Amino acid sequence: MHNLTQNYKYSFSSCELLNFINNNDTPFWVYDHNIIIKKIQLLKKFDTIRFAQKACSNIHILNIMKQNDVKVDAVSYGEIKRAILAGFIPNNNDIIFTSDIIDKKTLSLVTKLNIPVNIGSIDMLHQLGKCSPNHKIWIRINPGFGYGHNKKTNTGGDNSKHGILFPEQTLDIIKKYNFELVGIHMHIGSGVNYKHLKKVCNSMFHQICTLNQNIQYISAGGGLSIPYKTNEKEIDINNYFQEWNETKKKIEKRLGHSITLEIEPGRFLVAESGILVCQVYSIKKTNLFKFVLTDAGFNDLMRPVMYGSYHYISIIAGDNRKINQENLYDTVIGGPLCESGDIFTQDNNGNIMSRKLPKIHVGDYLIFHQVGAYGSSMSSNYNSRPLISEFLFTEKKFKQIRRPQKIEDLIQLEQKI
């Protein structure tokens, strides 16, 4: 069988995986504990690593972060609850709530638990101030430019709803409510281009000089990209760290005291640890394409449909035959959903793209790689399809870390109202 591994070697062999598949219902997610640990180690030079849990918010994954001294970012009431369940301590700088709006329920939770809030709008400042004066806050600055692997993940500039574009407007309000401004945060987008790195660092320095506040933390945000295609390279973390560390030193000199440098990655820590396993149920041809249809759809993995994202796909034979990697065929991979766009091989404009893949039979298994980030966490119940199982490969075993949803779980929400 073809080596499943891309840039990181999985801790399980393809035979172990096949054995596991044979005893379980597809589709399901698997995360490799060791790969997450390796990715955390790469960022250890930063004073604080804060996991953007929106990438993968299973409490067992959050617990791995906690065990390895990684803190957590939460962007909703639900993410705060998850963080607490995973063992993070609310008033210990373990959890920061980042958002551009704060609803009533979340406002009362952050107030009660004293969770620092990373403020993304002026309205939010007033709403928090009325409820919880003296609160510990960060300001999320929109530096006026951004970048992303897709325009939907660019979070800076005039097209972005995120962050505060004119941070000097916050100063009077901060005084009014006697907020404790502890940090400045900048996240220009997801899947950043390193040409922008110097620009972001310079902007952080200049904003802090202009604001002239005695802050204790800066956050470089998330956005670190990972190689999705085999010809893509890992980013140079040392270079990334050096640029930020020099910025930190410049700011320390200016403020006259030391500060803490945070980084807030989601994708970088978990993407490569995750796979999605599904089975082929039908193969059909049109005059243009060969469609291979699986039991996983965009309700499970949404990235290809939402952004035209590429995920490497490998095949495990369902009948023990050896997969011939030499002869490749133009193949389109789709899911079971009642929607034409339920295609995993498409570009950013929704055009169907064939992929050169070995011959696939009905009954074979397909593995989608690098889906640990924004895979499961973006799944939905479209077409009344329940959420699928998640497993963690740890201590040489596949351990279930989420049971599959049952259709009854969904239906129950609508009954006995």
Residues making contact with ligand LLP (CB under 6 A): 52, 55, 98, 153, 155, 187, 190, 221-224, 264-268, 303, 373-374
| 195 contacts 160 by C-beta, under 8 angstroms | no
As measured in angstroms, the least distance from the Cβ of 195 to ligand LLP is 17
Residue with tokens 């530096």: 143
> Alpha helix (H) ranges present in 23-120?
33-42, 59-67, 77-85, 104-113
Nearer to ligand LLP, 153 or 279 (CB): 153
Position of tokens 């902007």? 203
Q: Which residues of 53-70 are buried (b: 16+ CB within 10 A; e: fewer)?
A: bbbbbbbbbbbbbbeeeb
Nearest residue (CB) to ligand LLP, 107 versus 188: 188
Residues 191, 196, 199, 205: is their CA dihedral positive or negative?
A: positive
- Shortest Å distance, C-beta 373 to ligand LLP: 6
Q: Which two tokens stand for residue 363?
A: 């009954």
**Axis crossing angle, helix 59-67 with helix 33-42, rounded to the nearest 10:** 50
338 catalytic per annotation: yes
CB of residue 97 to ligand LLP, shortest distance in Å: 11
**Shortest separation between residue 361's beta carbon and ligand LLP, angstroms:** 31
Q: Where are the alpha helices (DSSP H) in 170-290?
A: 171-176, 197-211, 237-255, 267-270
Distances in whole angstroms, Cα of residue 137 to Cα of each of 119, 126, 200, 238 = 7, 12, 21, 29
- From the candidates 131, 209, 278, 338, give the one annotated as an active-site residue: 338
- Residue 219 CB, shortest distance to ligand LLP, in Å, is 8
Closer residue to ligand LLP, CB minimum distance, 12 or 298: 298
CA 367 to chain centre: 19
Q: In the structure encoding, which two tokens stand for residue 39, read together?
A: 């990715």
CB 202 within 8 A of CB 188: no
Give the pair of three-digit tokens for residue 283: 């193969």
Is the CB of 143 or the CB of 223 nearer to ligand LLP? 223
> To the nearest whole angstrom, how small is the minimum distance from the Cβ of residue 358 to ligand LLP?
27
For residues 331 and 376, which CB has a smaller minimum distance to ligand LLP in the complex?
376
15's tokens: 């035979």
Pair 193, 145: CB distance under 8 Å: no
Any idea which residues carry the catalytic annotation?
Answer: 338
